Amino acid sequence: MGANIVCVTSSGGLPIFSRKIGNVESLSFSTIGSLNGVHLFGKSKGLLLESTETENSTVVWKEYDDSLILICVAVMNGQEVVEEIIETVYNALIVFVGTNEIKNFKNVERFKRSLRPSYPIIDCILECLDFGDRNTNLDLLKLVEAILCREGKTLQIALDSFVEVIGTQFGWLTIENCVAAATDGWWSLVQIKRKLLSHIVRSSSHCTCFDMPIYLPFKSPTVPIRLVSVCLINPIRVNVLCGSSPDLSAISQKSYQCWSPIVDTLKLAVQSHPRNIPSNLGFHDSINGFLLINMLLGKFLLCTSLKSTKKDSKSCAETLKSFYYNAVRILEKSETLHQPLETYWVAEYHKLHAIKEGDDLICVLFHSGIPTPCMRLISRETLNIIVSQGELSWSHSSSK
């Protein structure tokens, strides 16, 4: 099971790139030509071809700026999710080359080369699809992963001081690619921007530091800004968006000055991973793991290490991911006449329950022995344990 996404030119159907994930064959040149030909034929007749479905696959077409056509073929994923994948991939292209280049490129080969740095990000985006596969990462479209630790307020104060020294409003601190602290300016960015920035930092986490020019969709699609990331201690990184100054060496020096006094605090904060919540928070024995989402801020927290092995944790994560995509996303929608607030699944080896309260939504994975009527009470209790911890500031954009 897997997915293919291809990009061709609107004018001549020339291939720009092709990426795939999972156990599927890459689309052949003739198949790509046929998919583009069907779209082109409909366009010539005044028809807009958006999607179609086969027995187990969904195909979605999307044209942008009369310049590029993105086509995605995904197994076991519905039209809505595949459309979001295409939209996110297009925004990833903007991040690396800007809208002017996309609309006005003249040399196809040069344009293809300029897009190569975006390939790791596109691969990260495709991993957000649900294939029921333990080998894929647990990642969710448009939502950034967060981590909660007792040291959060100290980290937030240090981050606010650091971005002030740098002269920017946009900064965030990550532990194992999970957001531990962020400025209000960063949280004010559109969700898809934050997600793409997280993908870039994650794909470059092997670097001690990096300085990358990027374009921000919606905010700065034509003028590049800088994304600078510095590793404080493994695996903690501080990241900022800034202008032409200060340079990378100055930012590295300032990061040492700002963060070295609390290096012991940083080491303590790392201990919250992989549980992603403080170890002194206790939950009901029937819980194997949970996925917590704040819909307003666009972030999620995954906890699958309560009492399971690393292998079991991966299985729990993939089960929660499938539950979220197939049953829970309807709870996030506000346009339905009758707003659902909870849902559940019952399987042979486990049970799952999701409940929405305000801007928070929690999906809980139980062992199969839990009585079904008890799941609602335990889910609500689990959510309250986390949101009631004022020092963790789950429902706030910063820990101020």
> What's the pLDDT tens digit per position in 163-208?
999 999 999 999 999 999 999 999 999 999 999 999 999 999 999 9
Which residues of the chain form CATH 3.30.450.70? 2-126
Q: How high is the pLDDT of residue 335?
A: 66
Instruction: Name the CA radius of gyration of the chain, rounded.
Output: 22
Rounded Cα–Cα distance for residues 279 and 253 (Å): 33
Rounded Cα–Cα distance for residues 202 and 163 (Å): 20
Rounded Cα–Cα distance for residues 276 and 249 (Å): 32
CATH architecture, domain defined by 2-126: 2-Layer Sandwich (3.30)
Q: Is 35 exposed, middle or buried (0-12, 13-18, 19+ CB in 10 A)?
A: buried
Task: Give the pLDDT band of residue 130 (cuts 50, 70, 90).
Answer: confident
- Reply yes or no on whether the pLDDT at 1 is more than 80: no
CATH of 144-270, one of 3.40.225.10, 3.40.50.300, 3.30.450.30, 3.40.1800.10: 3.30.450.30
Rounded Cα–Cα distance for residues 216 and 350 (Å): 42
Q: How high is the pLDDT of residue 275?
A: 92
> What's the pLDDT tens digit per position in 100-120?
999 999 999 999 999 999 999
CATH classification code of 287-387: 3.30.450.30
Contacts of 393 (CB under 8 A, 6+ apart): 152, 153, 399
126 closest CA partner among 17, 219, 235: 17
Q: How high is the pLDDT of residue 333?
A: 80
Rounded Cα–Cα distance for residues 271 and 175 (Å): 10
> What's the pLDDT tens digit per position in 24-69?
999 999 999 999 999 999 999 999 999 999 988 999 999 999 999 9
Q: How high is the pLDDT of residue 230?
A: 98
Q: How high is the pLDDT of residue 330?
A: 87
> What's the pLDDT tens digit per position in 212-270?
999 998 888 999 999 999 999 999 999 999 999 999 999 999 999 999 999 999 999 99
Q: Angle 372-375-379 (CA atoms, 0-180°, nearest 5)?
A: 165
Q: Angle 247-249-251 (CA atoms, 0-180°, nearest 5)?
A: 70
pLDDT mean over 144-164: 97
Which residues of the chain form CATH 3.30.450.30? 144-270, 287-387
In single-letter form, the type of residue at position 394 comes to: W
